[in-house]
Amino acid sequence: MHNHILFEHPLNEKMRTWLRIEFLLQQLMTHLTVTDHASALHFFRNIGDLMDVFERGDVRTEMLKELERQQRKLQNWAEVPGVDNDRIQALRQELKAHSVTLMAAPRLGQTLREDRLIGLVRQRLSIPGGCCSFDLPSLHFWLHMPQEFRDAQVNRWFTSLDPLRFALGKVLDLIRHSSPFRKQTSLNGFFQDNGDDADLLRLSMSMDDELYPQISGHKSRFAIRFMPIDSEHGRVPERLDFELACC
């Protein structure tokens, strides 16, 4: 699907939260080696955003419920004739193992919350340029410590998120693969349909169309309006083909 772009849109609050957490974890993973102020601020800003997300709702409880729900869905699949039962049982065991690990783990973000340096940097992030060496001499000192010392500390902070990271990865993978892409056509840049209790819309379209989708809706009904990237001169074709999966 070269030259195609994939858009994903959550249809409920839990999915919105999970996609944000996944996005922040991906950002963190691109710069796990902190060598200077720029990479440090990238790391601490994402860590701070993650902690904000954790503090807004009970992410662990929601994730445990979802692991349970996915196990039930797999159990229903197991009764379909001709299905690969070994694969289903292996997936159920995997989900069960994630539940056990997540339940046994300390409170989400606890290691990060208790760390003095993270706390200090987090307080200054909302101030423009507030992480200068004169504002945060402790960060300045930390950035002059040996690289292996910083690597070990960053690694410890990041691996404290593993129970959630691995469970979330598995759940999102199952949700994304729960429904195939189907060809759809919008008329005059508009498309609507029933969500059938879906959690996530995945929309694939050609980059050549130079359009992006504005999606609104929830699990029972959704609408998509296609907008030109060039808002002044761009045009929306009368009929536009794209692919859509309601997961």
* pTM given for the model: 0.93
Q: How confident is residue 1, by pLDDT bands cut at 50, 70 and 90? A: low
What 3-state DSSP class applies to 2? coil
Task: Count the neighbouring beta carbons within 10 Å of the beta carbon of residue 139.
Answer: 20
The answer on pLDDT for 85 being more than 90 is no
Domains of the chain with CATH codes: 31-177 (1.10.3900.10), 182-246 (2.60.440.10)
At 77 the pLDDT is 85
| 185 CA to centre of own chain | 28
What is the mean pLDDT of the segment spanning 215-241?
91
Task: Quote the CA–CA distance of 79 and 97 in Å, as a whole number.
Answer: 22
Task: Quote the CA–CA distance of 38 and 206 in Å, as a whole number.
Answer: 35
pLDDT digits (tens, 9 = 90+) for 147-175: 999 999 999 999 999 999 999 999 999 99
| 141 CA to centre of own chain | 33
Task: Quote the CA–CA distance of 137 and 123 in Å, as a whole number.
Answer: 14
Answer whether 10's CB lies under 8 Å from 175's CB.
Answer: no
The structure tokens 């761009």 sit at: 234
At 231 the pLDDT is 86
Cα dihedral 5, 6, 9, 15 sign: negative
**Residue 66 burial (CB < 10 Å; 0-12/13-18/19+)?**
buried
pLDDT digits (tens, 9 = 90+) for 184-195: 999 999 999 998
Mean per-residue pLDDT over the chain, rounded? 94
pLDDT digits (tens, 9 = 90+) for 89-145: 999 999 999 999 999 999 999 999 999 999 999 999 999 999 999 999 999 999 999
